[in-house]
Structure 1
Amino acid sequence: MEFKECIIESFKIIEKSTNCEQLEDWEKELKNKLDKKNFIDIKKYPRIAFRFNDEDLDYFRDESNQELASLIGSSNDLKLTPREKLMLSMLWKNGDLGKEKHIINGLLNKDHEKSKKTGQIFHQFGRKLKSPDKEPIIDQHILRAFKYYQNTSNTGEYAYSEHFSKQNSKAISDYKDWITENVLANKPNPEDYLYYTDRILFGIGKYLKPYLKK
Structure 2
Amino acid sequence: MTDKEKEKAETKRKAEELLRSHFKGENEITDEKLIDIINEIKKDKPLNNLFEKFKKSYKFFVDFDDNGEKTEKNFFRYFKISSPSELNINPEEITSKYSPLEMFLISILWKQGDFGKEQRILDGIKKNEIIPTVFPQFGRFLKTLSDENHNDEPNYENIEPIIDQHSLRAFCFSKDIEYNEGRDPSYDVYDKYIKCYKSVIRNCKCEDKELCFLMLNEIMFILGKALKK
Normalised by the length of structure 2, the TM-score is: 0.68
Where does structure 2 lack aligned partners over 5 or more consecutive residues?
A: 1-9, 62-74, 146-155
Q: Do 2:24 and 2:175's aligned partners in 1 also have CA atoms closer than 8 Å?
A: no
CA contact (8 A) 1:57 1:108 kept: no
Within the candidate set 141, 144, 149, 2:166 is matched to 141
Q: Gapped runs of 5+ residues in structure 1? A: 115-119, 152-157
For the aligned residues, what is the CA RMSD?
A: 2.9
Q: How far apart, CA to CA, are the structure 2 residues paired with 1:190 and 1:52? A: 17
Identify which of 12, 15, 19 aligns with 1:7: 19
1:26 match: 37
The aligned residue for residue 164 of structure 1 is 181
Q: Establish whether residue 201 from structure 1 lines up as the match of residue 214 from structure 2.
A: no
Aligned equivalents of 1:112, 1:22: Cα separation in 2: 30
Shift of 1:136: 0.8
User: Identity rate of aligned residues, in percent?
Assistant: 29
Counterparts of 1:32 and 1:171 in 2: how far apart (Å)? 31
What does 1:29-48 correspond to in 2, within 5 Å? 29-33=40-44, 35-39=47-51, 40-48=53-61
Q: Distance in 2 between matches of 1:75 and 1:130?
A: 25
Q: Normalization by structure 1: what TM-score?
A: 0.73
Alpha-carbon shift at residue 205 of structure 1 (Å)? 0.5
Number of residue pairs the alignment of both structures matches: 187
Q: Does the C-alpha gap of structure 1 residues 13 and 36 become closer, same or farther in structure 2, counting only changes over 3 Å?
A: farther
1:44 partner letter: S
After TM superposition, give the deviation of residue 142 of structure 1 in Å.
0.3
* Residue number in structure 2 paired with 1:106: 124
Pairwise CA distance, 1:13: 9.7
Corresponding residue SS for 1:131: helix
Alignment correspondent of 1:126:
139
**Cα 1:183/1:15, change in 2 over 3 Å:** farther
User: What is the alpha-carbon distance in structure 2 between the residues aligned to residue 75 and residue 6 of structure 1?
Assistant: 48
Q: Is the 8 A contact 2:167 2:221 kept in 1?
A: yes
